[in-house]
Amino acid sequence: DTAVSQTPKYLVTQMGNDKSIKCEQNLGHDTMYWYKQDSKKFLKIMFSYNNKELIINETVPNRFSPKSPDKAHLNLHINSLELGDSAVYFCASSPTSGPNTGELFFGEGSRLTVL
């Protein structure tokens, strides 16, 4: 059973297109995140949701719109894709109580290439 799963794993698309990445976690965690890892391997937080509420939005262009239909899902929609959006996007979740408090559980990543 995959704890945090995201789809698609690979995405190749043209500039200007709109695309979505989906994420689901079956760990019962309250908080979910989107991180972007660029070519220099720097992991930067984009968004965080706690129980479907947006709590972190780290100066991400408004072409990026997260949506959390319930606390187990956090999707990322990107409009008008640009070359600089090429990166690996990681979904993660974390509990806010219990023995694993403070630990991030990551999905396998979605590698986006914009041509």
Partner 1 sequence: RKEVEQDPGPFNVPEGATVAFNCTYSNSASQSFFWYRQDCRKEPKLLMSVYSSGNEDGRFTAQLNRASQYISLLIRDSKLSDSATYLCVVNRDNFNKFYFGSGTKLNVKP
| Interacting residues toward partner 1 by CB under 8 A | 31, 33, 35, 40-45, 48, 50, 55-56, 90, 94, 96, 101-104, 106-109
Q: Which is nearer to partner 1, 79 or 100 (CB)?
A: 100
- The token duo for 21 is 């990445």
3 state DSSP class of 39:
coil
What's the closest the beta carbon of residue 73 comes to partner 1, in angstroms?
A: 18
Nearest Cα to 89, choosing from 71, 105, 107, 72?
107
* Cβ proximity of 105 and 90 under 8 Å: no
Q: Which is nearer to partner 1, 62 or 101 (CB)?
A: 101
